[in-house]
Amino acid sequence: MRLTIVGCSGSFPGPDSPASCYLLEARHDDGTGERTWRVLVDLGSGALGALQRHVDPLTIDAVLLSHLHADHCLDLCGYYVMRRYHPDGAQPRIPVWGPADTADRMARAYDLPQEPGMREEFDFRVWDGPVDVGPFHVEPVPVDHPIPAYGLRVSADGAVLAYTGDTGPCPGLEDLARDADLLLAEASFVSGVENPPALHLTGTDCGEVARLAGARRLVLTHIPPWHTPDVALAEAQGEYDGPVELARPGAAYDLHG
């Protein structure tokens, strides 16, 4: 399974990165021939532009939304236009998994009538237990954020990617990240100041989860442009002895079991 960081800026796009978006690719034969399957984990502000540097967006098989904050879902608006009005003709519906309100939320975001909203372009499905998309087995784990939000544990090719989405510290994170080959964890906050509860993680929190869960590698993401990424990196390194690095747009990771 290949993970490509499309966007990793926290809460809003930064000068060098869109907001959250991660491309996952793996080979798979579903009976119609082997090909590369592609899913997007989140599609935040600005990410649809950067995605075009990596793949033809029309080759995406599904979109997996962790939650419905703008920095994780809003570029579904542009993607709706691309699929609906493409000069080659309207593209087939693809599934979009998300929290219960996703279809209505996206209709509001584009100022569409609630019916059909984007339902003719996207087959909206609600997170309600594990799902399979081609080679990807995806387990949603409820996390602690002001709106319904999920961490995602994705398995393919015998490898496991754990993505925290946005969350405050919560018990589910350790299970989410258990023995993961790569833990992609959000480090929005810095330690040592009064952070609001139930919102985001610090680099220290990320390092602690990685250590307790036995994750093999930690990649810190979702650092807002107003913070210094090296602070989060140093915090995580203080808690976790394994390899830690900062997510960078365009970075790719090949994960094998």
Please count the CA atoms within 13 angstroms of the CA of 127 that sit on its side-chain side.
22
- CB closer to Zn ion out of 139 and 166: 166
**Backbone CA torsion sign across 200, 201, 202, 203:** negative
Distance of CA 80 to the CA centre of its chain: 18
Q: How far apart are CA 105 and CA 74, in angstroms?
A: 10
7 DSSP assignment: E
Q: How far apart are CA 47 and CA 21, in angstroms?
A: 6
- CB closer to Zn ion out of 144 and 166: 166
- CB closer to Zn ion out of 155 and 188: 188
Q: List residues bridging with 141 in a β-sheet.
A: 151
What's the min distance (Å) between Cβ of 170 and Zn ion? Answer: 14
- CB closer to Zn ion out of 44 and 135: 44
- CB closer to Zn ion out of 58 and 70: 70
What's the min distance (Å) between Cβ of 172 and Zn ion? Answer: 16
The footprint of Zn ion (CB under 5 A) covers 69, 71, 166
What's the min distance (Å) between Cβ of 196 and Zn ion? Answer: 12
Percentages helix, strand, coil for the chain (3-state, rounded to 5) are: 25, 30, 45
